[in-house]
Every structure is written in structure tokens, then in C-alpha cells.
């Protein structure tokens, strides 16, 4: 008897699409269907801002040509799944029902709202989907928006601010904490980026300021916000960027085990047979030390998709996230982080921090007090090589050795100013050491070690 293997994936983001691609790579026979209610084709969500700023067209953000799907026998359905019948193994869309043998839920995130008065008014929006981008285009057309308020000082908030600023809109940025991205960045980096936005890019950053309510104008649209400190700020657009949560509302009250996200084991299996979850909507039940159950970032979705694609093809493998890594850009400052750098230093940790005297360029290394083993790195304005940082942290390299090898990690283009000398000089001064930078080791960079 030939077993039919119809794998249906809800969500055509990085997690869903990577699963489909890796399944096809490893199994030429599987019948693969991907459903999404957002766009017909996969696009890079992280590039949304560049479409608005005119650096890219929507079609440039699609990593694969439109013919790719047919050629690889991945059927695409544009529609919203309203309901899943786990007993019957069927998905219910507006005008069709689809049966599955295996189901992958990769439905991503939804922007948070906290029940503020006025949060659903026209002119108030989040920044997550292609629809959000279209809405923003329409609200800002014909210079209708002169002033905007962004609520929520994190990664998406700063992108939103940059987008609006690029069109000459005056942006006020309300940040609840005493620094930018206070739940994630140590105080020095958070203050540095807040200053950079304020003084180099003229964003009106208001720290320790929270939204109280959004005021409706005579035309029924948002016309101002009032902060918890009682300040009224006139605006024609309010951006709500106060984090995201797994997009799983349509799965509540089913037999699926749901916490904040869809609970999965190390094989990304849910409690329901033949049902898996990956990407932003998945909640890993027993995360590794230092890792969070839900990690809503691009490369986690990609790694989960790579793993799940193999498992669905019959080569069952566990999801192993490796050393944490993330990167972003705050206006013109590139940020990279490796391993564990927490907003507040832990009892067993020491930290070394170097900052350029004027520019928003910095380097932080966190290491274990007793063993001196490197735990994490934050860099701003210095591009580091993933492979080298990953190896240092994985191998528990001492802070001193890592600093002597710092040149191996530097990935800045030729002729960029290098800061290893200054960084090491400060470390020596603070620690009474005499370490010296080693010459660049090309074997460490490009070789196997
Ligand atoms: C503006 C912005 C900038 C970002 N920048 C970065 C960055 O620089 N670095 C980084 O690591 N991460 C970044 N992220 C986060 C990153 O984009 C996400 O972690 C990633 O895209 C999540 O991928 P996913 O496949 O899990 O879900 P998604 O990309 O959200 O895809 C899920 C898809 O499923 C669809 N769907 C949901 N429910 C249904 C349903 N019931 N029926 C049909 N379809 C459904 C959704 O419409 C969506 O298209 C950014 C996010 C945003 C919004």
C-alpha cells in the first residue's frame, strides 16, 4: 500500500517556507501545500521598511521567483484558515476544506495591544504585515501626516520611526524604560542608541513615558495621544510597537496544547499526533539554558524550518538552536549580539565595555567571573564574524584569549577604522593585564577550526 503524505503548512513566512523547501529537498514524493492569508508569495518581512523608504520594491523582497513553487511542486493557497478539525485532519477556509496527513502550524506573530482607549481608531496601527505597510502608505499619502507618535521602544519601533522620518514626518517616540530597548540592552547601549536617535536623527525620544490614551479627532481619526504623565502630543498617526505575541487565536479552545504559543517538544511536535509548529508561534517546552521558550526572530524560524523539513521527510532530528545570535540596525548603527548579554548583569558574570568617545560604536564582552569564559558579546557599529564569535562562546574561550584574537572576528569592509587596539588597551588598563592583539589568523576565519 502506498502511504499518501500530504503535508499542509499554515503560514508562508520564513518558518513555513523553509520547512516546505527542506521537505521537498529530502522527499521528492511528498505532496506539499502552503496556505497564507497575507500574500500569495513568501517575502522577507525584515525588508518591509525598505519598501516604504523606497530602497526596494515589494517584488525585490521575494527571495524566490514566482515560478519556483510550481517547479518544486509546492502548491500555494492564498486564504485564511478559520478552523482546524484535528479529529478529521481537515482545515476550514472561507470557501474550501483541505485534508492533511501532517500539519505544520507556522502562523507567526500578531502585534500586541493593551486595551488603550482609542487603540482601534483609524490612524492607529502596528507594523507587522504587508497589509500594515499598505495601510501606512495610504495614511501617509499626500503628506497627510506631519507628526507621528510611536509607542514602544524596541526593534520594530525604531524601524517604524526611521521609516516615517525618511518621509519628513516628525516622530515622537514613547519609551517606557529609562533607555531604548530596556528589557534587552544594558544601560550603556540603550542610552547610546536613545541619544543617537535623538541628536543624530532628531527623533523626539521620550524616555520613561507611557501611553495613557489616544484621542479621536473630529474626523474620527486619531489626532493626539495623552501620556501617563499627562502630556498631550498632537499627531495624525500612532504606531503601536509594544511587542508581539504568537498568532494562534484561531486555535484556542481546541485540543492543541497552548500556553503563550503552541507547545512543542524538541522535535517541534505538538501534543496532537501529526501536528507540528515552528517559528514565532512555537513555544519550546524545555528550552536550553539561557534560551527563551518563544524566540520571535527570523533565524530561529529558519532553523526550525530546516529541522522540521528533515523530520517530515522521515529523518527525525531534534531542534538544536546553538548559540543565540541576533542582529539589527538602529538607523545607521549596526547591532550584533552573540550568546547571553542580559540587560542586567548576573551575579556570576563580569562585563567589559568599550565605547567610542563620540560615535555610537561600542563593544561589550560578558564573561564568567570565576572561569573567565566568554558568555556573550554585544557590538554596535563594528561588524563581527558569526563563525568566530560562535566558536569562542561554544568553546568557553577566555575573555583574554578572545580579545587577543579580536582581529579574526572583525568583519568590517577594508579601509574601515579598526578599534581592536583601543578596546584591548582599555581592557589592559582596567584589569592590569598586558595582552596584545594577535595578527589576523586566516585559517581561524576560513578554515575548519
Ligand atoms: C518590521 C519587522 C522587522 C523585523 N526585523 C527583524 C530583524 O531585523 N531580525 C530578526 O531576526 N527578526 C526580525 N523580525 C522578526 C521576524 O520577521 C519574524 O521572527 C519572522 O518573520 C517570523 O517568521 P514566521 O515564519 O514564524 O511567521 P510570519 O513571518 O509571521 O509568517 C506567518 C504567516 O502565516 C500567516 N497566517 C497566520 N495565521 C494564518 C491563518 N489562520 N491562515 C492563513 N495564514 C495565516 C500570516 O499571515 C503570515 O503570513 C522583524 C519583524 C518585523 C515585523
Largest CA distance in the chain: 73
Q: What is the pLDDT of residue 36?
A: 98
Ligand 1 center to 223 CA (angstroms): 30
Ligand 1 center to 231 CA (angstroms): 34
Nearest C-alpha neighbor of 52 from the set 146, 174, 150, 135: 135
Q: What is the mean pLDDT of residues 395-414?
A: 89
Q: Which of 154, 160, 280 to mutate to test the pocket of ligand 1 (most atoms within 8 A of CB)?
A: 280
Q: What is the pLDDT of residue 149?
A: 98
Q: Using 50, 70 and 90 to split pLDDT, how confident is the model at 3?
A: low
H or E segment and range at residue 425 = helix 420-431
H or E segment and range at residue 245 = strand 244-246
Q: Which of 9, 38, 252, 268 to mutate to test the pocket of ligand 1 (most atoms within 8 A of CB)?
A: 38
Ligand 1 center to 109 CA (angstroms): 6
List CB contacts of 8: < 8 A, sequence separation 6 or more.
Answer: 33, 34, 35, 91, 98, 100, 102, 103, 104
310 CB under 6 A from ligand 1?
no
104 CB under 6 A from ligand 1?
no
What is the grid cell recorded at 212?
Answer: 495613557
Measure the CA–CA gap between 141 and 249, rounded to whole angstroms: 32
Ligand 1 center to 401 CA (angstroms): 38
Q: What is the mean pLDDT of residues 190-211?
A: 97
Ligand 1 center to 110 CA (angstroms): 8
Q: What is the pLDDT of residue 441?
A: 66
pLDDT tens digit sequence for 63-84: 999 999 999 999 999 999 999 9
Query: Could you give the residue ranges of the DSSP H alpha helices within 85-128?
Result: none
Q: Which of 8, 10, 46, 49 to mutate to test the pocket of ligand 1 (most atoms within 8 A of CB)?
A: 46
277 CB under 6 A from ligand 1?
no
Q: Are 175 and 203 in contact (CB under 8 A)?
A: no
What is the grid cell recorded at 54?
Answer: 523606497
Q: Using 50, 70 and 90 to split pLDDT, how confident is the model at 1?
A: very low
Q: What is the pLDDT of residue 437?
A: 84
What is the grid cell recorded at 26?
Answer: 529530502
pLDDT tens digit sequence for 326-377: 999 999 999 999 999 999 999 999 999 999 999 999 999 999 999 999 999 9
297 CB under 6 A from ligand 1?
yes
Nearest C-alpha neighbor of 130 from the set 70, 49, 54: 49
Angle 99-307-40 from CA coordinates, rounded to 5°: 50
Burial of 428 from C-beta contacts in 10 A (0-12 / 13-18 / 19+): middle
Q: Given a cut of 80, is residue 446 above it in pLDDT?
A: no
Ligand 1 center to 334 CA (angstroms): 21
Q: Which of 22, 36, 283 to mutate to test the pocket of ligand 1 (most atoms within 8 A of CB)?
A: 36
127 CB under 6 A from ligand 1?
yes
Q: What is the pLDDT of residue 142?
A: 87
pLDDT tens digit sequence for 163-175: 999 999 999 999 9
Q: What is the pLDDT of residue 41?
A: 98
- Burial pattern 92-109, b for ≥16 Cβ within 10 A else e, equals bbeeeebebebbbbbbbb
Q: Using 50, 70 and 90 to split pLDDT, how confident is the model at 290?
A: confident
Q: What is the mean pLDDT of residues 35-51?
A: 97
Q: What is the mean pLDDT of residues 36-41?
A: 98
Q: What is the pLDDT of residue 323?
A: 94
Q: What is the pLDDT of residue 438?
A: 83
Q: Are 213 and 117 in contact (CB under 8 A)?
A: yes
Residues facing residue 55 across a β-bridge: none
Q: Using 50, 70 and 90 to split pLDDT, how confident is the model at 443?
A: low
User: Which atom of ligand 1 is closest in space to residue 250's alpha carbon?
Assistant: 41
Measure the CA–CA gap between 123 and 140, rounded to whole angstroms: 9
Task: Return the residue matching grid coordinates 510597537.
Answer: 241
Q: What is the pLDDT of residue 449?
A: 44
Q: Using 50, 70 and 90 to split pLDDT, how confident is the model at 411?
A: confident
Q: pTM of the entire structure? A: 0.94
Measure the CA–CA gap between 444 and 442, rounded to whole angstroms: 5
Q: Are 98 and 90 in contact (CB under 8 A)?
A: yes
pLDDT tens digit sequence for 226-266: 999 999 999 999 999 999 999 999 999 999 999 999 999 99
149 CB under 6 A from ligand 1?
no
Q: What is the mean pLDDT of residues 121-136?
A: 97
Measure the CA–CA gap between 382 and 333, rounded to whole angstroms: 9
Q: Which of 8, 9, 12, 13 to mutate to test the pocket of ligand 1 (most atoms within 8 A of CB)?
A: 13
Q: What is the mean pLDDT of residues 203-230?
A: 97
Average pLDDT, the chain: 94
Q: pLDDT over 90 for what percent of the chain? A: 91
12 CB under 6 A from ligand 1?
yes
pLDDT tens digit sequence for 412-435: 766 567 888 999 999 999 999 999
Distance of CA 334 to the CA centre of its chain: 14
**Residue count (the chain):** 449
- Can you tell me whether residue 236 is helix, strand or coil? coil
pLDDT tens digit sequence for 365-386: 999 999 999 999 999 999 999 9
Ligand 1 atom 35: residue of nearest CA: 11
Q: Given a cut of 70, is residue 193 above it in pLDDT?
A: yes
Amino acid at each position: 500500500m502506498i502511504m499518501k503524505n500530504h503535508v499542509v503548512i499554515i503560514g508562508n513566512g520564513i518558518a513555513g517556507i523553509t520547512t516546505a523547501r527542506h521537505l521537498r529537498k529530502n522527499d521528492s514524493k511528498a505532496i506539499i501545500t502552503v496556505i497564507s492569508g497575507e500574500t500569495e508569495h513568501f517575502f522577507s518581512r525584515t525588508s518591509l521598511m525598505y519598501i516604504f523608504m523606497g530602497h526596494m520594491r515589494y517584488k525585490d523582497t521575494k527571495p524566490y521567483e514566482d515560478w519556483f513553487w510550481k517547479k518544486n511542486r509546492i502548491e500555494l493557497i492564498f486564504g485564511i484558515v478559520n478552523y482546524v478539525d484535528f479529529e478529521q485532519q481537515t482545515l476550514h477556509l472561507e470557501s474550501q476544506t483541505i485534508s492533511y496527513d501532517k500539519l505544520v502550524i507556522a502562523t507567526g506573530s500578531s502585534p500586541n495591544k493593551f486595551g488603550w482607549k482609542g487603540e482601534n481608531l483609524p490612524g492607529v496601527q502596528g507594523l507587522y504585515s504587508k497589509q500594515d505597510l499598505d495601510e501606512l502608505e495610504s495614511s501617509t499619502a499626500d503628506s497627510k501626516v506631519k507628526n507621528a507618535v510611536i509607542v514602544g521602544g524596541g526593534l520594530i519601533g525604531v524601524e517604524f520611526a526611521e521609516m516615517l522620518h525618511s518621509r519628513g514626518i516628525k516622530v515622537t517616540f514613547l519609551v517606557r524604560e529609562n533607555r531604548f530597548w530596556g528589557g534587552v540592552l544594558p544601560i550603556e547601549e540603550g542610552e547610546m542608541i536613545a541619544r543617537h536617535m535623538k541628536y543624530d536623527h532628531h527623533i523626539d525620544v521620550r524616555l520613561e513615558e507611557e501611553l495613557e490614551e489616544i484621542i479621536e479627532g473630529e474626523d474620527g481619526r486619531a489626532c493626539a495621544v495623552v501620556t501617563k504623565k499627562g502630556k498631550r502630543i498632537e499627531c495624525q498617526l500612532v504606531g503601536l510597537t509594544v511587542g508581539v505575541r504568537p498568532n494562534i487565536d484561531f486555535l484556542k479552545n481546541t485540543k492543541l496544547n497552548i500556553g503563550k504559543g503552541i507547545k512543542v517538544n524538541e522535535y517541534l511536535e505538538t501534543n496532537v499526533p501529526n501536528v507540528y509548529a515552528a517559528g514565532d508561534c512555537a513555544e519550546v517546552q524545555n528550552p536550553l539554558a539561557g534560551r527563551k521558550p518563544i524566540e520571535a526572530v527570523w533565524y530561529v524560524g529558519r532553523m526550525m524550518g530546516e529541522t522540521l523539513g528533515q523530520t517530515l521527510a522521515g529523518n527525525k532530528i531534534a531542534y538544536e538552536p546553538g548559540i543565540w545570535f541576533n542582529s539589527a540596525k538602529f538607523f545607521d548603527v549596526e547591532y550584533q549580539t552573540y550568546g547571553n548579554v542580559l540587560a542586567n548583569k548576573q551575579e556570576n558574570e563580569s562585563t567589559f565595555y568599550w565605547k567610542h568617545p563620540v560615535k555610537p560604536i561600542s563593544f561589550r564582552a560578558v564573561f564568567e567571573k570565576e572561569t573567565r569564559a566568554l558568555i556573550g558579546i554585544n557590538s554596535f557599529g563594528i561588524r563581527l564574524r558569526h563563525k568566530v564569535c560562535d566558536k569562542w562562546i561554544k568553546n568557553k574561550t577566555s575573555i583574554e584569549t578572545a580579545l587577543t584574537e579580536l582581529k579574526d572576528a572583525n568583519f568590517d569592509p577594508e579601509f574601515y577604522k579598526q578599534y581592536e587596539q583601543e578596546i584591548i588597551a582599555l581592557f589592559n588598563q582596567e584589569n592590569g593585564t598586558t595582552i596584545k592583539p594577535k595578527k589576523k589568523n586566516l585559517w581561524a576565519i576560513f578554515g575548519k577550526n
